[in-house]
Structure 1
Amino acid sequence: MCGGVSHVYVHGLNLGHASGIRIKSAQGRGGYVKDIYVSYVFLRNVKTAIVFTDLYGEHPDSLYNPNALPHIHKIYTQNVQGNNITMAGNFQGLSGYPFHDIFLTNITMNVTFTKIVWNCSYVTEHSESVSPSPCEELAQNKSQSSSPV
Structure 2
Amino acid sequence: MSGGVSNVTVENLLVWDSRRAVRIKTAPGRGGYVRDITYRNLTFDNVRVGIVIKTDYNEHPDEGYDPKALPALKGITFSGVHGQGVRVPVRIHGSEEIPVKNVTFWDMSVGTTYKKKHIFQCAFVQGRVIGSVFPAPCDNLDRYDEKGNLVKRSASQNVTDIDYDI
1:15-58 per-residue CA deviation (whole Å, 9 max, x = no partner) reads 10122121110111111000111100111111111110101111
Verify the 8 A CA contact 2:21 2:49 in the aligned structure 1.
yes
Residue number in structure 1 paired with 2:143: 141
The answer to whether 1:14 aligns with 2:2 is: no
Residue number in structure 2 paired with 1:130: 133
Paired-residue identity, %:
34
The structure richer in strand per residue is 2
1:83 deviation in Å? Answer: 0.6
> How far, CA to CA, are the matches of 1:135 and 1:86 in structure 2?
16
> How far, CA to CA, are the matches of 1:26 and 1:57 in structure 2?
5
Verify the 8 A CA contact 2:51 2:91 in the aligned structure 1.
yes
Q: Which amino acid aligns with 2:124?
A: Y
The answer to whether 1:86 aligns with 2:87 is: yes
Give the ranges of 4+ consecutive aligned residues of structure 1 lying more than 4 Å apart after TM superposition: none
1:92 deviation in Å? Answer: 0.7
Verify the 8 A CA contact 1:16 1:43 in the aligned structure 2.
yes
Residue number in structure 2 paired with 1:118: 120
1:2 deviation in Å? Answer: 1.6
Q: Which amino acid aligns with 1:77?
A: F
Q: TM-score when scaled to structure 2?
A: 0.81
Structure having greater relative contact order (Cα 8 Å, sep ≥ 6) = 1
Q: Which amino acid aligns with 1:57?
A: N
1:82-119 per-residue CA deviation (whole Å, 9 max, x = no partner) reads 21000011111121431111001001100112434111
> How far, CA to CA, are the matches of 1:2 and 1:82 in structure 2?
33
> How far, CA to CA, are the matches of 2:105 and 2:136 in structure 1?
11
> How far, CA to CA, are the matches of 2:56 and 2:98 in structure 1?
12
Compute the RMSD of aligned alpha carbons: 1.5
Q: Which amino acid aligns with 2:133?
A: V
Residue number in structure 1 paired with 2:96: 95
1:137 deviation in Å? Answer: 1.2
1:127 deviation in Å? Answer: 0.8
Residue number in structure 2 paired with 1:108: 109
Q: Which amino acid aligns with 1:5?
A: V
